[in-house]
Amino acid sequence: DEKEIIYIAFQAINVTENKVLDGHEVVIRTEQSISQSLQLQIGLSEEDIRNGIPFQDAVNQISEYLGALKGSVRVITDGQAHIRQCLQPDAVRRDCILPGLFNSF
């Protein structure tokens, strides 16, 4: 049962200094109905999600932010599933090209 990605949160971390640089959240627009329990879990209303940005814009925003960081940037996840089973398939469904940094994690 595949659903659209509606929310991406990430932190930029300087691994050399072991410091969190910044945290970001991106709300992605969808026309899908969102359950009450999911709304409470992520702290967003259906209106917040309807007013979100398109998926491609969210990917571009994340890529631009990470690209502006000094040094080598890697995507670190809690396993491969987040990228391979969520982000990449959703990008294909939405006819969106993911930047190369999402292929190295």
Residues 83 and 64: their CA atoms lie apart, in Å, by: 18
**Mean pLDDT to the nearest integer, 25-54:** 88
- Element containing residue 63 per DSSP (H, E): helix 55-67
Helix (H, G, I), strand (E, B) or coil at 29: coil
pLDDT value, residue 92: 92
**Mean pLDDT to the nearest integer, 20-25:** 87
Q: Give the tens place of pLDDT for each residue, 74-90.
A: 777 877 888 888 889 99
Residues 104 and 81: their CA atoms lie apart, in Å, by: 13
Return the bridge partners of 20, or none: 13
Q: Give the tens place of pLDDT for each residue, 55-71.
A: 999 999 998 888 888 77
Query: Which residue type occupies 76?
Result: I
pLDDT value, residue 12: 86
Residues 96 and 92: their CA atoms lie apart, in Å, by: 6
